Amino acid sequence: MSSVLTLRIVDPWLIVSLCVASAAVVVFLLLRRRPAPWPLWAAAALFSGGALTVLFALVARATRMFGMPLPWQVVAWGAVGMAAIALAIANFWKSRWGRKAIAAGAILLFTVTTVLGINAYYGLNTTVAGLFHIQVHRPISVPTGSASSGPESHTPLYERWHPPADMPATGQQGTIEIPATQSGFSARLAGFYKPPAALTAHPPRLPLVIMMMGQPGDPDPQYIAKILDAQAQKNNGLAPYVLVVDQLGDPTKDPACADSATYGNVETYVTKDVVAFARTLPVQQRPHQWVIAGYSNGGGCAFKYAAEHPEVWGNLLSISGEIVPGSEHPDETIADVYGGSRAAFDAAAPASILASGSFSYTDEWALFTAGENDPAYIDQARHGAAAAFSAGWQADSYVVPGAGHVVDALEGGLAEGFARLYPRLGLSAP
């Protein structure tokens, strides 16, 4: 069962094979000599299937059903897939049982091809388990602070670290459970990444990243691990430890980064339970060495928590992040999370927290990124950077060339963010 769940479903060979098979079946379904008006019925079926998809996309855009317009690539996959399914349904009309059986199988084939094609475009659910948000437990040992090679030093790590010859080329990924001692929040297993330097006999104290993914989404460390492995190869195996934690509980829900009776105490979980657990790792303890990062929904949470807890995190990396958590569905958020109080919702916005004067910011750093083809989030990134800069942070925004709001924006934002963060974290020369 585990091998099925971990089967990769985004590889090009699989998508191309499904498309070729689907095209061959479409040709078969089109070739009918009877009944006489069949060409007209086939054309009507193809048109209606595609048109319904386009209509759905327009309604979804008008109602903000998904918080943002569906990308044209997704609409194209859906239109072609639904056109093929409509053609298969039309083949049940005045046909023999053999053609009906093939048409039934074709519906399944076209559905799988369309779903996996759209999923491959987004690129965020790389396995069967990811597609259905099923966590596969991959146990990994958790080091403790006592395993560190010594006390913290203010000398940059890149100047004093000399990797041993047997250090591995890449880090390790796995899953761990973080006790929800104070919050009682029902979080899923966290993802954990240990960089190459941490896998040596005498590892140094390293910086720490706490990251959150999007909604729907899973606490999957593979994307940040890919970027940090690449950085580690250029910097003597040095990279931060990473905890990718669950700020959702349920991938279909959006707790808007706050404690609430409806969704549980997610803010307490991240800012108290996760932080307490992280303090036990062999990591550097100064806020200057801690990064809170997030993608999309997780980016909104990261911004909020960084604004509220400068004593914990001195660095923020928001990738295609919302600048107001829950803003994709504000009425629902106000009702379910803030007890119907619009004032409480507005006060919880990161920009409001920054401007409140309740917190002192002395050495905070932030980067807000968004994809070039994601204009709404480019605006949010720029507004987030401006609000942070006005509060005294070292803040900037960055547009990822050619990216949308999918895996290209995630990986591009992570790559740019850590290219800038490495000197600040002492992992590379300025």
Question: Is position 130 within any domain?
Answer: no
Half-sphere exposure of 102 (CA within 13 A, CB side): 16
As for how many domains the chain has, the answer is 2
Q: How far is CA 393 from each of CA 96, 315, 384, 420, rounded to the nearest angstrom?
A: 71, 10, 11, 15
CA-nearest of 269, 161, 267 to 207 is: 161
Whether residue 198 lies inside any domain: the answer is yes
The confidence score (pLDDT) of residue 34 equals 75
Question: How much is the pLDDT for 147?
Answer: 44
Co-location of 139 and 87 in the same domain: no
The verdict on 154 and 289 lying in the same domain is yes
Residues 321 and 344 in one domain: yes
CA distances from 304 to 1, 118, 293, 318 (A): 39, 31, 11, 10
401 lies in a domain?
A: yes
**Cis, bond preceding 35 (omega within 30 deg of 0):** yes
Specify the pLDDT at position 67: 66
Q: Are residues 151 and 106 in the same domain?
A: no
Q: Is residue 417 part of a domain?
A: yes
pLDDT value of residue 148: 45
SS (H, E, C) 1-55: CHHHHCCECCCHHHHHHHHHHHHHHHHHHHCCCCCCCHHHHHHHHHHHHHHHHHH
Q: Residue 153's closest CA among 196, 204, 209?
A: 204
Same domain, yes or no: 79 and 150: no
Residue 429 lies in a domain: no
Phi, psi of 395 (to 5 degrees): -130, 145
pLDDT score recorded for residue 94: 85
| Together in a domain, 104 and 229 | no
Which of 101, 122, 143 is at the close of a domain? Answer: 122
Give domain status of residue 267, yes or no: yes
What pLDDT sits at residue 110? 94
Residues 160 and 63 in one domain: no
Place of tokens 């990216």: 403
Is there a single domain that holds both residue 115 and residue 140? Answer: no
Q: Last residue of some domain: 95, 122, 149? A: 122
Same-domain pairing of 96 and 155:
no
406, 123 Cβ separation under 8 angstroms: yes
Clarify whether residues 146 and 60 are in a common domain: no
Alpha carbons 372 and 379: distance in angstroms, whole number: 11
In this structure, are 165 and 275 located in the same domain?
yes
So what's the pLDDT on residue 133?
A: 86
DSSP for 117-137, written as a single string: HHHHHH----BHHHHTTPPPP
CA distance 241 to 238: 10
Torsion of Cα atoms, 32 then 35 then 36 then 37, to 10°: -90
Q: In what order do the strands lie in the sheet with 241-245?
A: 172-176, 190-194, 241-245, 208-212, 290-295, 315-319, 365-371, 394-400
How far, in Å, CA of 424 to CA of 139, rounded? Answer: 31
| Mean pLDDT for back-to-back runs of 10 residues, the chain (430 residues) | 80 95 95 83 92 90 75 92 94 90 95 94 87 87 66 80 93 96 96 97 95 94 97 97 97 93 96 97 95 97 97 97 88 91 93 93 96 93 96 97 93 98 96
What distance in Å separates the CA atoms of residue 139 and residue 120, rounded to the nearest whole number? Answer: 27
Domain enclosing residue 69, as ranges: 2-122
Tell which of 98, 122, 146 closes a domain.
122
The separation between CA 300 and the C-alpha centre of its own chain, rounded to angstroms, equals: 12
CA distance 222 to 126: 10
Please indicate, yes or no, if residue 127 is contained in any of the structural domains.
Answer: no
d(CA 312, CA 61): 39
Do residue 355 and residue 409 come from a single domain?
A: yes
The DSSP secondary-structure symbol of 196 reads G
Q: What is the CATH number of the domain that holds 374?
A: 3.40.50.1820
Domain annotation covers residue 430: no
